[in-house]
Structures are given as C-alpha cells and as structure tokens.
Structure 1
Amino acid sequence: MKLATIRTPTGTAAVRVEDDHAVELGEPDLGALLRHEDWLDRATVDGPTHAVSDLDFAPVVPSPEKILCVGLNYRRHILEMGRELPKFPTLFAKFPPALIGAYDDIVLPEVSDAMDWEAELALVTGPGGTIAGYTVLNDVTARDWQYRTAQWLQGKTFARTTPVGPYLVTGDLAPAQLSCEVNGELMQSASTSDLVFGPAELIEYISTILPLAPGDLIATGTPGGVGHARKPPVRLGDGDLVTTRIEGLGECHNRCRAEKPS
C-alpha cells in the first residue's frame, strides 16, 4: 500500500494512493495517522479523492518528532575507502525544517558553496517502534559546514534541503536498487542489500537509546558516488535537477535553487 501526505487548498491531508487517484483518510498527515494503533485499518477507508496527476506532495511525515540518520553504512563503499566496517551505527540528527516534498525545490543556502547529494533509503516508524514502511530520501549536505567540526549536524540540517517521499510504502522491503542522478547523469547506484546495519538492526539499536514515536524518520545511509569524494569534487548548483530513486518505492525530482539574499 502507498500512503502519502499531500497539500490541498485547505491544508494537508493523509491519503492512500491508488493507480490514478488518491483517497483522503480523514487525518491531516501521515504522522497523525500513524499515532493510531489501528492505522493500517484506517488507511483502507474511503473519502474524498484526488487525481494522482494533480497531487502536491508534502514530506511523507511533515513534522516528525525525530529524524535520525546513519553514516558509513554501505559495506562496499566503506571497504573501497580502506576503512574497517563499523561495529556500531554512526548516528546524527536532522530537524523538521530541513524536510521538503518529493518535487519541491532544494534551497541551496547562501552561506555554503559545497552542497552535495546523498541518496538514501528511509524508514518510518509506527506505534511501539515498529516499521510502518519505507520511503525515498536525499540527505543533501553542506560539506563545508559538515566538516567545520567533528560533529556533522551543522552541515546536515539546513532548512528546505532534504527531499523525502513521495510515498510511504508499507510491507516488507525486498533488496532494492537505489540511485541518484544529477541532470540525468548517474552519480550513485547500489543495492540496499549492501547495508551494514539493516532497518531492523537500526530500530533495535536506536530503541535502546530512546523510545521511537510513530512517524519518526530514520535515514539509513548513502553509498559511494557522492560529489565530495570525486576528483575534483562536484557540487550542486542553481538549476541542477536531482533525481533520487529506489526500486519499488518511487522517486524524488528536485530542482536546486540558490537561496535569495535576505
């Protein structure tokens, strides 16, 4: 089942996405839907419909309580860099103002000239720290700010930089191909089977640190092919089109736009 949060003339709405239409579920967004223990049953109800071609996607969960991200989590990429596989997940955080919808513009902050792409599989939690489903995310990063200190957060959570969506796809996830293109050129390609720490392991590990709430977002890490590691480095610029795709989950298409001076 495909679920989403869409923008409507009166606000946002949680919807179930069918072949050619989407059905409103009576909740303002997927975060609100997932707070119900019987959310899967509620996701099957009928309501007002919208043509899929007219949908304006908000972030899958517009205001999650937590956005947790994992670094250094693709086995082949770690080994090709000459590093040892980590014993524990590398965790950092984002905050909700960073999130944008699947087709929204990525805002390139005026203070950075080193914006980079990071295609990622993300999972969304349900009640009791369960996995409600999976979605597509790009952890667009300001590399110059990320490496100002040993802590990454400052480069990871600039406002309006992180596409997520378009759908939350429920059910088990088979190994899937993940990719990122910039202006049609393939930059990243890997299978989610290459993750060092898979979704279930990440849920277990994070849950020992703090409780996970319905609608929390966990980004599982990116494979090789980022612009920062290229010789010379490649940066995102005004007008670039970033396409982030995961087999079976959908894709995000986001145009980069330079932040307008305040």
Structure 2
Amino acid sequence: MRLATFLHRGVEHGGVVRGPLVHPLAGGLTVLDVVRAGLADPELLPGVPLREVRLLAPLHPPAFRDFVAFEEHVEGVRRAVDGVGGVPEAWYDAPAFYFTNPHTLIGPDADVPFPASSVARDFELEVAAVVGPSGSIFGYTIFNDWSARDLQSREMRVNLGPAKGKDFAGSLGPWIVTAGELERHRDAAGFLALTCTASVNGAEVGRDLLSHMGWTFETLLAYAARDSHVAPGDVLGSGTVGNGGCLAELWGRRGRQDPPPLQDGDVVTLTVEGIGSLTNRIVTAPPAAPLPPFRRSVERQP
C-alpha cells in the first residue's frame, strides 16, 4: 500500500495510490490516522488521477529524529569540515541522531527556500521509516535533509548539534510504502537492499545501497525509544547514504567543492528502489533581519 497526502481542488486529503489513481480515504481520515491505527485496508473513495492532484509531504509527523547510520558519509563529511576525516570511535557505540523540524517539511516538486545568507547549499539522500503502533515500523518514504553547510559548520562549533543549518526545510515523499511491500528486499542480516541515487539537473552524483547502513531501522527505533517515548507517526531518518549521498561528502574526498554547491534553479531528484522519486527545486528565501549583537558580561556589570 502507498499512502499519500495531496491537494485536490484546494482541499487536502489523505489517500492510497493505486496505479495512476489516488483514492481519498473515507471519513476524512488522514495518513497519520491510518498510521496510528495500523490500518492495513482503510475504506477508500473513488480514485482521482494523480496528474490532477498536488502531492504534499505524505504525513505531518509528531516528531522527526534523523540518524547518522552510514560510516562512509561520516568519514567524508568530516574530511570536508576539518580536512582530516576519520570516524570518531564514539560513533560506533550507538546510532546518534538529532531532532529536526517537522513543521517545515515539504513534498514533491515544491521549491526549497534556502536561507539567503547561505552559499554552501547541499542536499542529503536518506530513507525515512514511519513508526507504527506497538513499536512497529509502518512504512518507508524518501527524505531529503537539506543542509546549509556554511551555517551548519559555524553552529556545530557550539557542540549542540545542527540548528539553523537544517531547520529551514526538509523534503518527504512522494508517499509512504508500507513495510510489507519492501520485505522482499531484506537481506540475511535484516537490512533493506534498496538502490538509492541522487541527481542534480539530471546528472547522477551519488549512488549507494540502503543496506550499507551500520544499524537496521529496527535498531534505530529501539534506540530512539530507550529511556524515552516514540509515538506512532514519528519519523526516523536513516542518515545520508554514502558514495555521493550529499555534496559535502564529495567535497571532502576530492578536496574541493566539486560538484559546486546548489544554486537557485537547480533541481535535485532522489530515487529509491521500491519507493519512487522525490524532486525539488532550489530557491532563495527572503533575507532575514540581522540579529542584535550579544551583550557581553562586562556590559552587564552595574
């Protein structure tokens, strides 16, 4: 089953995609309702041609944890940042993640508004798992974790993790494929052997297997829930695949910004076997108002 959220004649619907049609969910149910209930066969209304609708992010998740589960990505990006590279030993201890912004998720074919102050603009090719009831994984979709690398590099020196270098946008879609549909791709170690590719303006720049993750999605979910709470509808990002899953990794390996950072008008397409493709275009957001300067302690003394 493929679950989508879409606009048709100005009204937002949840629905099930079957071939060239998307069938709205009966009773006004949303995709999040279906996920929370674990519905395997929801009641549907007559289908609408996909060409007549606008696909949105497939659901509005309560929370979004994004992991870093690919060793090759960690090594390449660290080389781009500090020129040395390598993977910290602590990375192997447990699957690290950060909380990203569920309120700025966009869907297929939407423009991505990068901060005007950023010039090192990047994409990140990921697969995201959607959590179902009782600690299960309901399904999978594609995630593009857009990154303003220059903003991210500055704020990471504070040692709190990414913030404004990430929270302006994330792309999710085109739909959620239920877990059972992808079971045939699971290898003997429990990983999904799905081919993942990334292209910029039609030219492929990255290709990897999802099964090169260091931990399975089931392990990511178990770790997220440890001493905490994960709710149905929460989303877990795999982290960026290796071998060109983002530009920064390639910059680190090549010692230069090749390919160049994304610019206005560039079109990025991420494709994952068994799920589909997710395409977005880069634009620049309006400039932000400048921050007032920090008031240092000497200025606060009476």
Length-normalised TM-score, structure 2? 0.79
Aligned to 2:174: 166
Partner amino acid for 1:36? A
Extract unaligned runs of 5+ from structure 2: 77-84, 186-192, 289-302
Q: 1:32 to 1:107 in 2, by over 3 A?
A: same
Q: Which structure is higher in strand share?
A: 1
Tell me the percent identity.
Answer: 28
SS in structure 1 at match of 2:54: coil
The alignment's C-alpha RMSD in Å is 1.9
Extract unaligned runs of 5+ from structure 1: none
Aligned to 1:74: 70
- How do 1:1-262 residues align onto structure 2 when only pairs under 5 Å count? 1-26=1-26, 27-37=28-38, 39-42=39-42, 45-61=43-59, 63-71=60-68, 73-78=69-74, 81-83=85-87, 86-147=92-153, 148-149=155-156, 150-159=159-168, 161-172=169-180, 173=182, 174=185, 175-224=193-242, 225=244, 226-229=246-249, 230=251, 231-233=255-257, 234-261=260-287
- The whole-number CA distance in structure 2 between the counterparts of 1:57 and 1:29 is 14
Q: Is the 8 A contact 1:143 1:155 kept in 2?
A: no
Q: 1:152 to 1:187 in 2, by over 3 A?
A: farther
SS in structure 2 at match of 1:228: helix
The higher radius of gyration belongs to: 2
Q: Is the 8 A contact 1:101 1:164 kept in 2?
A: yes
Deviation of 1:10 (Å)? 4.5
SS in structure 1 at match of 2:151: helix
- The whole-number CA distance in structure 2 between the counterparts of 1:22 and 1:218 is 25
SS in structure 2 at match of 1:188: strand
Q: 1:76 to 1:111 in 2, by over 3 A?
A: closer
Of the structure 1 ranges 27-36 and 176-185, higher mean CA displacement relative to structure 2 is found in 27-36
Q: Which structure is higher in helix share?
A: 2
**Any idea what the Cα deviations from partners look like across 1:88-108, whole Å, max 9, x if unmatched?**
111101112221002211111
Length-normalised TM-score, structure 1? 0.90
Aligned length: 256
SS in structure 1 at match of 2:41: helix
Q: Is the 8 A contact 1:12 1:28 kept in 2?
A: no
Q: 1:130 to 1:228 in 2, by over 3 A?
A: same
